[in-house]
Homo-oligomer: A and B are copies of this chain.
Amino acid sequence: MDKPRRITLNDIALACGVSRATVSLVLRRSPLVHANMRRRVEAEMQRQGYVYNRAAANLRQRVSTTVALVINDLSNPFFAEFATGVDEALGAKGYVTLLGSSNESPARQRQLLGSLIEHHPAGIILSPAENSDVTDVEMTIGRHAPLLVFNRELTGTPDTGFEYDFLGLDNRAGARVATKRLLELGHRRIAFYGGHANSSSCRERRLGYQDALRAASIQVDPSSMIETAPTRLEANVHADALFAVDAAPTAAVCYNDAVALGLMLGLARLGRQPGVDFAVTGFDNIPEAAVGVPPLTTLNADPRARGRQAAELLLQRAAAPSSPRQSVIVPVQLTERESTPHALSA
């Protein structure tokens, strides 16, 4: 690796015997410059291996062609898919994604936002770590770049004037639909399994679950809602909590697919057969859901499409900073697979 002095517009201009301005016009495909001149300049750029310095151009133009993307858990396929969708849509519009992975740590998230904001992105897409406080976020990013929050709400109340857009799933309706379907299949003792009760998405899904039970005139027993970290591993480990009650459930509405997949393994460990003598639903429809054993009935959130949507919402907002704050709630649809058998007639 030789360290050649960086080739700049000046070098090209000099070599072509024209001014920097002319070369710049060629770069931006201005019709002002003559086709012959254009070709001459372009050939010279090719020859010298010129690379455009977008940072310099952005500085001068006072624009930004980057968007920051901060993800709470990239190792969860739901968010990995989301990130892929974001990058896809941003790339199509000529933006570059600045990535940050917080691993559910608010401290790391703060650090990331602080560092990313110094790159003056055109906007920030934040899939927040659990318990991210809105004031904390505002402190670190200020009000310089539009913010789009994905998936879960920030905790706390924002200061006056601090606004952000929101993109989320219709958690309540989704959980309601899943629970309703289990009721239709004859289940009467249905648990809500997994997730942290203090996260907005879990709270909303629990509400949907309760809606459906109440609509069927079934008493909601608080002990039928079991809390676990929203990961496969934790869901697996705590499966026995389902059977620690007097009348054990025959079905579980799970917080998300990771939890559902973990629970199914836990059930197998306890001698139950999900899809045969126990019904399980998930939430998200990650790729593994379709190929699980048994394939998982779940709510289709299409994370990659959500990513594209998030990117578009953000760019829209960056173009119209003063239009009113948006909160987009995406409906989710039940995808039925083999994990939800009829209730066995006891």
Contacts and interface: CB of A to CB of B under 8 A. Distances in A.
Nearest to A262: B291
A83 B161 CA distance: 35
Contacts of A96: 98, 100, 115-116, 119
A103 interface: yes
Interface string A42-60: 0000000101111110110
Q: Number of contact residues on A: which range applies?
A: 35 or more
Contact of A321 (B3, B6, B49, B287): B3
A90 B167 CA distance: 29
A260 interface: no
Nearest to A57: B118
A289 to B, nearest CB: 12
Given A96-B116, A118-B54, A91 B77 contact: no
B75 A80 contact: yes
Interface string A83-106: 110011001001011111101000
B119 A91 contact: no
B288 A288 contact: yes
Nearest to A144: B51
Contacts of A111: 91
Interface of A: 1-4, 6, 49, 51-56, 58-59, 62, 66, 69, 74-75, 77, 80-81, 83-84, 87-88, 91, 94, 96-101, 103, 108, 111-112, 115-120, 142-144, 146, 161, 163, 232-233, 236, 261-262, 265, 268, 287-288, 291, 293, 304, 317, 321-322
30 contacts: A1-B143, A1-B163, A1-B321, A2-B143, A2-B321, A3-B321, A4-B144, A49-B144, A51-B117, A54-B119, A55-B58, A55-B120, A59-B59, A66-B98, A74-B81, A74-B83, A75-B77, A75-B80, A75-B304, A83-B99, A84-B103, A87-B99, A94-B115, A96-B115, A96-B119, A98-B98, A98-B99, A232-B288, A268-B293, A293-B293
